[in-house]
Structure 1
Amino acid sequence: MREDLHALYRRLHAAPELSMQEHATAALVAERMSALGFEAWRCGGTGVVAVLRNGEGPVVAFRADTDGLPVAEDTGLPHASTARGTLPDGTDVPVMHACGHDTHVTAAIGAATLLAGARGAWAGTVVFVFQPGEETGEGAAAMVADGLWERAPRPEVVFGQHVWPGRAGQVELTPGPAMARADSWRVTVRGRGGHGSQPHLAVDPVLIAAHAVVRLQSVVSREVGAQESAVVTVGTFHAGLKENVIPSEAVFTVNVRTLDPAVRERLLPALRRVVAAEAAAGGAPEPLVEELYTFPLLVNDPAATEALRAPLAAALGAGNVLHAAPRMGSEDFGHLPDALGVPGVYWFFGGVPGEVLDSGAPVPTNHSPAFAPVLEPTLTTAVTAAYAAVLSRLGTAAR
């Protein structure tokens, strides 16, 4: 089984697809799950739902995300991706599984294989959700809107997991708020174009936007409490086409992460205030602020999270099940349990050999062109954790 899963992982890694374009991935997943005896169907465009009924008992759901990222791979692996894709705006880009979703899909199929082969040991129903579009925050909401929970049996809990550059062989649990809410904006600063030699006859949006970018960071340092958490990142900045032309507008994008709704309610208006004030100071009209997307706050149900600790410890060893602080990364996993009002639990598993971490050498992170989790014990850990989690909530088969 391990050899088969390794081959599946390499196949997925070599052929990533962009968010909401995972057509080949969905077809492969549906084929594999159907072969295991699951009832599989498409949902939310390129999502796949797979259900295995095994008598009367609880219903448990497990989610794995499927999309890649517009990143040019630089791992040097023999199965490195050379795939390309097209962004919604028509831009041709390289595509890579730079966040490990190929690992997630492989682990879910591995756990499904174990469950299908052990039907005499459990009773109930398992729902696997292979979700597209996690990287853009579209996929979970699209599946819910497309009738995911109207057609699939209603689960009593939804599980999920994610690889990260932690110690391979270990998993990390976080009860309560586990991953940040994210808000992303596009800000267009509108000035008045002119000749670079005559800035006094123009209104320079580049200067205004540059001041805004710097000043935005002061909101976290001066308006968010030292014991509170928030991150503000300006990820893109575009303006002009020639060095001696003052353009008529400058555009930048902002990403905001928060763990506390009260902090978010203070932070977002403050960011808008800064952008508007810098424009006013430069003699420009109020900038256009467009919301690009949001990710929900991911909150692990405390009771369900603690209940999972013992089964994971039994499967992986108590020393390999750790407690972790909340992360400022974001996920749309929360849409799936939240849509039903049921508990959700989401954990992380490591993908870096311990000797590498202990050496102090730099380790590529998720979204890096060099991100490549070590194959083992990463996959075995992920399959074991998923299988143990699902099995822990299912009923016992009648004897």
Structure 2
Amino acid sequence: MATHGTLIDGLNTRLDDLEALYQDLHQHPELSFQEKRTASLLAERLAAAGCEVTTGVGKTGVVGVLRNGVGPGVLLRADMDALPVKEIDRVTYRSRATGTDPDGVVTPVMHACGHDTHMAALIGAVEQLAAHRDAWSGSVLAVCQPAEELGAGARAMLDDGFLDRFPPFDVALGQHISSAPSTHLYARPGVFMAAADSLRVTVYGRGGHGAVPQATIDPVVIASSIVLRLQTIVSREVAPTDVAVVTVASFHAGSKENVIPAEAELKVNVRTFKPEVRTQVMDAITRIVRAEAAAAGAEREPVIAPINDFPLCVNDVAATRTVMAAFTEAFGEGHVHETEPKAGSEDFGCFGEAAGVPSVFWNFGGFDPALYPDDPTRAHLAVVSGQAPSNHSPQFVPTGLRPTLRRAVEAMLTASAVWLAPASR
């Protein structure tokens, strides 16, 4: 086991540079699988730290290998992509970037999920490890992953021969900023984040004039009935002891008030924590969509097509308890919390699962503790009440940037030290 304290030595002198890197990344966000500038910048930083750098892994991914003698391998991962969100004007370095989404729509782009903090923290951790080669031995794989927001980036890198092209690793470590007090860390053994499925539902009717609705089959009415009926899956079909979420967040149909369209489109998102519940919910969606269309006399069966999917994010029990113990020793019991499973989703676990090694994923807070007057283990209450922003919000910009970056780097180094060997003598 390497020495945690030594790896952190000198970090404070690096924070100005990491803040500048973060602000650069924040001002220049890029959508999934479009992270070309981001990848180039990170590749330069990894190379300058002494890594062997490979670009274009899984389209736009970057892998930096920092070798330091014989010893265990540790994978450290940060995601690179941003979201189609317009940032509100709160900071001088706000994003004004735009991009083209998968549907061909030009949209504002923002790091509304904090991936910019993940990247800056990863670079800081690698630079610290490079500066303290005399404190550890082994190899570090710094993975800059594309397209996490699509649930596709980790699989793309693995499909591009990741396991064969790069050194083996004994553990996969990753982290994500959350709406919680800065300097606080959150993790749990076992299921940490939900599985997620996104679907595109297209309902077909018969279009016509709004003055003669009897001559049409109105897909807006069919789709509206589907939206309402889908809400009964969780309330009437899923057991109260299980958890699921079914959300319809996109509904598009027609273009004029007196023209009944020929079709309507819904986008549906599902969150589940058990494979059997996922199957139950997905089957129910299919049944309801088809039945509502049939009940309305639709002449063509609706189409249900997948958009993306995320696996369950499951933390190895023993490895997570070890990491949490190291966090507690380093930062104090009051700053390390065992949290409940999160309804958000992640594809980070694909790396550990594919390699057959433990995965540990945790959250770090990124906001002024004053926003969370209650117990830090109940930070979600501040989000629900509107006191603090949530991930994917146009307001999601850390308000405690320096302590947030410092703790994120410290956490990654502390977790790495659990596996890396002491320096060879």
Please say whether Structure 1 and Structure 2 have the same fold, judged by a TM-score greater than 0.5. Answer: yes
User: What residue number does 2:379 align with?
Assistant: none
Answering whether residue 326 of structure 2 is matched by residue 330 of structure 1, we say: no
Q: Which residue of 1 aligns with 2:43?
A: 30
Letter in 1 for 2:136: W
Deviation at 1:146? 0.9
1:398 CA displacement: 2.5
**How far off its partner does 1:323 sit?**
0.3
- 1:136 is the counterpart of 2:150: yes
Q: Cα 1:337–1:103, aligned 2, differ >3 Å: closer, same or farther? A: same
The structural deviation recorded for 1:248 is 0.7
Given that 1:75 and 1:369 are in contact with CA atoms closer than 8 Å, whether structure 2 keeps it comes out as no
RMSD: 1.1
Q: Distance in 2 between matches of 1:245 and 1:88?
A: 28
C-alpha distance after superposition, 1:338-379 (max 9, x if no partner): 111211110000011111211866211111111111203111
- For 1:8 and 1:75, how far apart are their aligned partners in 2? 20
Q: Distance in 2 between matches of 1:260 and 1:88?
A: 29
What SS class does the counterpart of residue 348 from structure 2 fall into? coil
Identify which of 325, 340, 351 aligns with 1:310: 325
Q: Aligned letter for 1:35?
A: A
Post-superposition CA distance 1:290-310 (Å, at most 9, x none) = 111111111001111001112
Contact 1:75 1:372 in 2 (8 A): no
Give 3-state SS (helix, strand or coil) of 1:376's partner: helix
Q: 2:23 corresponds to which letter in structure 1?
A: R
Partners of 2:199 and 2:334 in 1: CA distance: 42
Q: What is the match of residue 367 of structure 1?
A: 392
Residue 115 (1) aligns with residue 141 (2): no
1:348 corresponding residue in structure 2: 363
Residue in structure 1 matched with residue 336 of structure 2 by the alignment = 321
Aligned partner of 2:256 among 228, 242, 246: 242
Q: Distance in 1 between matches of 2:21 and 2:77?
A: 18
Equivalent residue, structure 2, for 1:160: 174
Deviation of the 1:139 alpha carbon: 0.8
Q: CA deviation at 1:76?
A: 1.6
Question: Equivalent of 1:14, from 22, 27, 30?
Answer: 27
For residue 52 of structure 1, what is the amino acid of its counterpart? Answer: L
Greater CA deviation, 272-281 or 310-319? 310-319
> How far did 1:75 drift?
4.2
Equivalent residue runs for 1:1-399 within 5 Å: 1-42=14-55, 43-284=57-298, 285-358=300-373, 362-374=387-399, 375-399=401-425
Partner Cα separation in structure 1 for residue 342 and residue 325 of structure 2:
23
SS in 1 for 2:286: helix
Displacement of 1:137 after TM fit? 1.3
> Distance between the aligned counterparts of 2:387 and 2:336, measured in 1?
24
* C-alpha distance in structure 1 between counterparts of 2:278 and 2:151, whole Å: 18
Paired with 1:131 and 1:299, the residues of 2 have a C-alpha distance of 19
Distance 2:277 2:424 in 1: 51
Question: Structure 1 counterpart of 2:24, which letter?
Answer: R
Question: Tell me, what secondary structure is at the counterpart of 1:8?
Answer: helix
What are structure 1's unaligned runs of at least 5 residues? none
1:59-105 C-alpha deviation (Å, 9 max, x unpaired): 11010001111111114200001111112332111111100000000
2 CA distance for matches of 1:322 and 1:255? Answer: 29
CA distance in 2, matches of 1:12, 1:107: 12
Q: What is the CA-CA distance between 1:316 and the residue it aligns to?
A: 1.8
Superposed CA offset, 1:231-280 (max 9, x none): 00101000011111111111111000100001111111111111111111
What displacement does 1:199 show? 1.1
Distance 1:200 1:19 in 2: 44
CA contact (8 A) 1:66 1:105 kept: yes
Deviation at 1:314, TM superposition (A): 2.3
Residues of 2 paired with 1:204 and 1:90: CA distance?
A: 27
Aligned residues: 399
Partner-residue secondary structure (3-state), 1:322: strand
Q: CA deviation at 1:178?
A: 0.7
CA contact (8 A) 1:58 1:124 kept: yes
Q: Which residue of 1 aligns with 2:378?
A: none
- What amino acid maps onto 1:287 in structure 2? P
Q: Please say if residues 208 and 279 of structure 1, whose CA atoms lie closer than 8 Å, have aligned partners that are also in contact.
A: yes
Q: Equivalents in 1 of 2:424, 2:171: separation in Å?
A: 22
Q: Does structure 2 retain, via aligned residues, the 8 Å contact 1:316–1:384? A: no
Whole-angstrom distance in 1 between the partners of 2:218 and 2:201: 15
- Distance in 1 between the 2:277 and 2:151 partners? 21
Letter in 2 for 1:349: F
CA separation in 1, counterparts of 2:89 and 2:348? 28
Q: What SS class does the counterpart of residue 72 from structure 1 fall into?
A: coil
> CA separation in 2, counterparts of 1:123 and 1:99?
33
Given that 2:190 and 2:317 are in contact with CA atoms closer than 8 Å, whether structure 1 keeps it comes out as: yes
TM-score by length of 1: 0.98
| TM-score calculated relative to the size of structure 2 | 0.92
Letter in 2 for 1:387: L
Report the Cα distance in structure 2 between the residues aligned to 1:231 and 1:190, rounded to whole angstroms.
26
Native 8 Å contact 1:316 1:385 kept in 2 = no
Query: Residue 351 of structure 2 aligns to which amino acid in structure 1?
Result: L
- Superposed CA deviations along residues 96-135 of structure 1, whole A, max 9, x for unmatched, are 1100000000000011111111111111111110001101
